[in-house]
Amino acid sequence: MAMDYKNAGVDIEAGYRSVELMKTYVKETMRPEVLGGIGGFSGAFSMEALKKMEKPTLLSGTDGVGTKLKLAFLLDKHDTIGIDCVAMCVNDVACAGGEPLFFLDYIACGRNVPEKIAAIVKGVAEGCVQAGAALIGGETAEHPGMMPEEEYDLAGFAVGLADEKDLITGADIKAGDALIGIASSGVHSNGFSLVRRVFEMTRESLDTYYEELGTTLGEALLTPTRIYVKALRSVRESGVRIKGCSHITGGGFYENIPRMLPDHIRAVVEKDSYPVPAIFRLLQEKGGVEEKVMYNTYNMGLGMVIAVDPADVDKTMEALRAAGETPYRVGVCENGEKGVSLC
C-alpha cells in the first residue's frame, strides 16, 4: 500500500467537506466590514470605524469551553457548544466596554467527521450572530493519535473596539453605587470538573429527567452560556454609564466581582435578592458542596454583575429588560477592604 496522508490518519477530503458544510452558517455572521470571501489565508476586516473615534482601543479575549465538552461527547450533541465558546470570549470584551467585531475559532479533533465539525461551527456562528461579531476565520486540525477519534477541543478568540473614554474600568466606583446582576442561563462554561464529580457521567444519568429542572440533567447542563453583548449595549444606549462590570466565570463571585473594584471598595451582595436556579441547588445537595465553594466556583444564577450610580438603577433595569434580560438589584458598594461580602 502506497503511503499517503490519509493512511497516516489525516483525511484532507473530509477537511474540504467540512468547510463546504459550514459555509452557510459562516455567511450569516458577516458584517459590512468583512473584506473578501471565506477560504483565504487570513480574515480581513476594515478598520474604517476607527477614524470616528478620539482614541480607538482594541480589546481582545480568548477562551475555550473546558470540560463541558465531555457532556457534548457523551450526549453526541455538538450544535450549542460553539455558542459557549463565543460567549466566553465576547462577554469578556463587552465587560470592558468593547463592541465585539470579529471572532476566530480553533477546533482540534481526533478525526474529522465533516457533519460533526459543521455542527460545532453552526453553534459558533449562532454565538457570533448573538454577539453581532463576524466569524472571519477558523481552523480545524485533525490530530490522529493525539486525542481519541470521537473527541475534540474547541477554543476561540474575539477582537472588539471601544473609544478609550468609554472603557469600563471600575476606577470611579464609589460607596453607595448599586450592584445589578443579570440572570445566567445556568452553569454556563465553568466548574464542569466539579459537575462531573458530583453527577455520574453516563448517558443514562444525563438523560434522567428532574422535576425541579423541568428537563433532563444533560439538557440543563448543556444549556449554552448567555451572551450579554447586546444587553450591555442597550444600557449604554439608554445613556447610563456603566461604572464597573464583572463577567462571573470560573472563581464565581469571590474571584470575579473584586476584579472590577477599585481599592478600598467592598461589594456587598444579598444572596436572597434573586432566585438561585435549581441546577445549582441540585449540584450543592447531591455533591454535599459547601455554600462558600458554590459561590467560589459558579455564577449561581448571575452571569454578569454591573455597578451603576444609584440614580441610574431604574433606567438600567429598564434597558436590560428591553434587551430581553432578567436583571436584579443584588447589592451595594461600600467603603472597606477590596473584596466581596455575601449576606
Whether residues 81 and 128 share a domain: the answer is yes
* Average pLDDT of span 239-244: 96
Q: List, for residues 11-39, the tens digit of each pLDDT value.
A: 678 777 888 888 888 889 999 999 876 66
Q: What is the pLDDT of residues 248-271, one digit of tens each?
A: 999 999 999 999 999 999 999 999
Same domain, 196 and 225: yes
Q: How confident is the model at residue 113 (pLDDT cuts 50, 70, 90)?
A: confident
| Section 76-89 average pLDDT | 97
What domain range is 280 assigned to? 178-342
Q: Determine the pLDDT at residue 70.
A: 93
Same domain, 144 and 228: no
Same domain, 146 and 192: no
Q: What is the pLDDT of residue 260?
A: 96
User: CATH number of the domain that 110 lies in?
Assistant: 3.30.1330.10
C-alpha cell at 247: 463577567
Report the candidate in 250, 253, 248, 252 with the shortest Cα–Cα distance to residue 266. 253
Contact yes or no for 124/103 (Cβ under 8 A): yes
Q: Name the CA radius of gyration of the chain, rounded.
A: 21
Does one domain contain both 106 and 220? no
Is 225 within the bounds of a domain? yes
pLDDT at res. 112: 87
Domain count, the chain: 2
Domain identity same for 147 and 183 = no
d(Cα 61, Cα 91) in Å, to the nearest integer?
Answer: 9
Q: Is 278 within the bounds of a domain?
A: yes
Global pTM? 0.93
Buried b (16+ CB within 10 A) or exposed e, 305-319: bbbbbeebbeebbeb
Nearest-CA neighbor of 163 among 242, 56, 59?
A: 56
pLDDT at position 13, please? 80
Q: Would you say residue 214 lies in a domain?
A: yes
Mean pLDDT (the chain) is 93
CA 41 to CA 32: how far, in whole Å? 19
Q: Are residues 26 and 159 in the same domain?
A: yes
Q: Which residue has the higher pLDDT, 43 or 270?
A: 270
Do residue 103 and residue 237 come from a single domain?
no
Q: Which of 144, 166, 188 is the last residue of a domain?
A: 166
Kindly state the average pLDDT of the residues 199-214.
94
Asked if the structure places residue 60 within a domain, the reply is: yes
pLDDT more than 70, % of the chain: 96
Asked if residue 336 and residue 197 are part of one domain, the reply reads: yes
User: Which grid coordinates are listed for 312?
Assistant: 441610574
Q: Is residue 44 part of a domain?
A: no
pLDDT band at 9 (very low <50, low <70, confident <90, very high): low
One domain, residues 332 and 195 = yes
Mean pLDDT of 33-57: 85
265-321 pLDDT tens trace? 999 999 999 999 999 999 999 999 999 999 999 999 999 999 999 999 999 999 999
At 141 the three-state DSSP class reads strand
39 assigned to some structural domain: no
The domain boundary residue, chosen from 166, 195, 222 = 166
**305: CATH:** 3.90.650.10
> Do 187 and 141 fall within a single domain?
no
- 1, pLDDT greater than 70: no
* Residue 6 located in a structural domain: no
Residue 40 is assigned to a structural domain of this protein: no
Q: Which residue, 139, 166, 193, sits at the end of a domain? A: 166
Q: Are residues 277 and 307 in the same domain?
A: yes
